[in-house]
Amino acid sequence: MKRRPLPVAAALAATAALFLTACGSGDDSSKDNDKIAGADTGDAGKSASPSASAEAEAIDRPKMTFPSDFKMVFDRTEPSEAKEAAALNDAENFVRAINYGIVQQDAEDAAYKFYSDPRGNAQAYAKKQIQQYIDGGWTVTGTQRYTGAKVDLASDGNRASVSFCDDDSKFYGKEIKSKKVLKTKPSDKDYYFFEIVMTTSNEAKGLWMAQDIEVQKEATQCKA
CA distance 126 to 110: 11
Q: What b/e string do you get for 65-80 counting C-beta neighbours within 10 Å, with b at 16 or more?
A: eeeeebebebbbbbbe
Q: What is the mean pLDDT of residues 26-51?
A: 36
| Interval 98-133: pLDDT, tens | 999 999 999 999 999 999 999 999 999 999 999 999
pLDDT tier, 224 (very low <50, low <70, confident <90, very high otherwise)? confident
If you average pLDDT over residues 167-174, what whole number do you get? Answer: 97
Report residue 94: phi and psi, to 5°.
Answer: -65, -45
Least confident of 48-62, 114-128, 176-190, 210-224: 48-62
CA 169 to chain centre: 18
The pLDDT value recorded for residue 55 is: 72
pLDDT of residue 58: 85
Would you place residue 31 in the very low, low, confident or very high pLDDT band (cuts 50, 70, 90)?
Answer: very low
* Residue (of 3, 21, 59) closest to 156 by Cα position: 21
Q: Give me the pLDDT at residue 57, please.
A: 79
